[in-house]
Structure 1
Amino acid sequence: MTRSASRPSVAPDRRFIRNLDWNLIKVFHEIAHNGGVTNAASAIARQQPAVSSALKRFEDYVGRALCQRGPGGFLLSDHGSRVAEIAGQIDRLVGLMEAELEAVEKDLTLPLHLATVGDVVSPRLDETIGRFARRFPKAELFIHVLPYPEIEEAIHSGVADVGICPEPRMLADLDYTFLCSETHRVVCGRSHSLAGKHVTDWSRLAGEAFVVPGTDEAAIVREFRQRNGWGRTTAGQSLDIGEVKRLLRAGIGIALLPSEMVAREIEDGEFHALTDPIEGLSDDIFLVTNPAGQRHFAAERFLSMLPEDSPEPDCRAVA
């Protein structure tokens, strides 16, 4: 087998490759593709002197004249034509990179474990989960419902990759990203004796039996309730918000819960809002990740898809 004399097969000079400014290849490709320095400068929105300087640097580096300039206009030299061909091949290969990376991601069987308190209502979270699933169609999502004091430990231990956590401890070795804020109001079931009432005097509720979400109640909410004497009599409690709602439907007590969490039941008439959303009573919810975690790649991808178009908290109070 013979080799073409015009294109010899030689081992690459690693020093030439290591020391090359690859941006000069990009600029030269634009010069060759657009038919000259002036057109290239316009195409890539750079000043003509900067493009001319880049061409000069590239010619000095390769040690050959790549362009001929004269009365006949812009022409590539023989060396320039060959380098332009190579630069075009590089441009096409780089152009394929994004599609290749996306193809790899679509083929990843990527597990993602979320640890969360029950019934968090956040359109921002829902959109992030949807974006992640569309970007990684072979991903598998696991959702672990835990009391909020256990969520940061689940991130530490690797049980979960992303925590959805109210009232975090803000540990130094974990990362925290704000998700939303929850407002709170007092509600009861439609069969409760207070159904239909609107309460503005907090003392009226001090003697009522409360249903509470046990240790899953945020400290700021528990302290507010206790300051007002709410819940001295307990009608029931459960860590499962679904069971708290069951007790409310049965009419055995009232509850101080996130407005967003009971919005649908209020709209459907199952629950009655005894108070407006209580001003100043809200708790922030954060996404928690461990930068040293074994599956931090999945957590990073998840956080990168968090919508950024809502600078204000997107968990809204329901009037």
Structure 2
Amino acid sequence: MLNLRQLEIFRAIMVAGSLTGAGRHLQMSQPAVSKAVRRMEDLVGFQLFRRIHGRAQPTPEATNLFREVDKVFYSVSIVEKYARDLRDAQTGVLTLACTPTMSCSFVTGAIARFRRQRPKVRIWLQTATTKEILDLAASAQVDLGVIYSPAEHPAVSVTPLFETELMCVMAPDHPLASKASLRPSDLAPHAIITNMRSERFYELLNAAFQKEKLVCDAIIGTNSTITACSLAQEGSGVAIVEPMGVRELFPRTVLRPFRPSIIVTPRIVRPRQVALSRVGRSFLTILQQQRPDLK
């Protein structure tokens, strides 16, 4: 069976038209090229070239063979280019997961910036709950995930991004919309909407209310920040939620910081035992540089 090196020699002779020219191109001596041709002819079982006036005249069989060999080397060139692109993080596949609100905020901003630099990379962005994202990262089904809550999982590596804070979201005509910030004492007389899924944040809210000897009485509980903000936008109460994506999704709402401040930190999660690809490392750098405008 012919190997790739033999096919390369055969192709060089066909292109150069002589054994000497092929040898010069391949940096081989003419006797070495002649020996390679004889070996190839033994393998294929027919003559490849005739020497006519110092030129290597291909036989009809060699001409037919060259058509197929040329296809092989075209495919090899595609593979080589793909390998170079992988080396330079210009191609490949990037799999991501984040919460629905963050998919409309700084994560998609980072993707847009990444795409401008590497338009050939294919991206799969999946929205999911925090628990689902942790499971996806732990089982190496995604390269990177972005969540709010602290993550403790032996199979997951966690990297904090930046700090932000819980915000109060309400309709523009809400009685509290004119205030610069809102405390438990401001909120207590009004309907409160919370994302009950975010247990840690709900616990911190309760603690803030208890310090003022008040009860955080969530009139409406939901498992979705988007639903909480939609309810607030329609005048059902004040939603106290993580801020990412709220302005983008609900431009008709008013956002006010909750006081005392409750810090939330978006975090990157990824499989601990799987090395991040060049493409993944490139996107991670951009994600770490991306800062949302929450003003």
What do residues 37-89 of structure 1 show as CA deviations (whole Å, max 9, x unaligned)?
xxxxxxxxxxxxxxxxxxxxxxxxxxxxxxxxxxxxxxxxxxxxxxxxxxxxx
Residues 104 and 249, structure 2, Cα contact 8 Å, conserved in 1: no
Tell me the equivalent position of 1:146: 128
Tell me the equivalent position of 1:118: 100
RMSD across aligned C-alpha pairs, in angstroms? 3.9
C-alpha separation in 1, matches of 2:237 and 2:258: 19
1:262 counterpart = 2:246: yes
Give the superposition deviation at 1:198.
Answer: 5.4
TM-score for both structures, normalised by structure 1: 0.55
Identify the match of residue 226 of structure 1 among 196, 206, 219.
Answer: 206
Specify whether residues 230 and 102 from structure 1 end up closer, same or farther in structure 2 by C-alpha distance, changes over 3 A only. farther
Specify whether residues 139 and 197 from structure 1 end up closer, same or farther in structure 2 by C-alpha distance, changes over 3 A only. same
TM-score for both structures, normalised by structure 2: 0.59
AA aligned opposite 1:232: D
Give the superposition deviation at 1:186.
Answer: 1.8
Identify the match of residue 101 of structure 1 among 71, 77, 84.
Answer: 84
C-alpha separation in 1, matches of 2:249 and 2:153: 36
Residues 110 and 287, structure 2, Cα contact 8 Å, conserved in 1: yes
1:178 counterpart = 2:163: no
Residues 99 and 129, structure 2, Cα contact 8 Å, conserved in 1: yes
Give the superposition deviation at 1:293.
Answer: 3.8
- Describe how 1:198-217 pairs up with structure 2 within 5 A: 201-215=183-197, 217=198
Name structure 1 gaps, 5 residues minimum.
Answer: 12-96
Specify whether residues 169 and 104 from structure 1 end up closer, same or farther in structure 2 by C-alpha distance, changes over 3 A only. closer
What do residues 214-265 of structure 1 show as CA deviations (whole Å, max 9, x unaligned)?
31x261x2122212156424224242x3322221122111111234543458
AA aligned opposite 1:147: T
Tell me the equivalent position of 2:150: 168
- Describe how 1:296-307 pairs up with structure 2 within 5 A: 296=277, 298-306=279-287
Query: What is the aligned residue count?
Result: 220
- Describe how 1:280-319 pairs up with structure 2 within 5 A: 280-293=261-274, 296=277, 298-306=279-287, 308=289, 314-315=291-292, 317-318=294-295
C-alpha separation in 2, matches of 1:161 and 1:99: 20
AA aligned opposite 1:158: A
C-alpha separation in 2, matches of 1:182 and 1:213: 17
Identify the match of residue 222 of structure 2 among 219, 237, 246.
Answer: 237
Specify whether residues 232 and 315 from structure 1 end up closer, same or farther in structure 2 by C-alpha distance, changes over 3 A only. same
Name structure 2 gaps, 5 residues minimum.
Answer: 1-18, 33-79
| SS of match in other structure, 2:264 | strand
Q: Percent identity?
A: 18
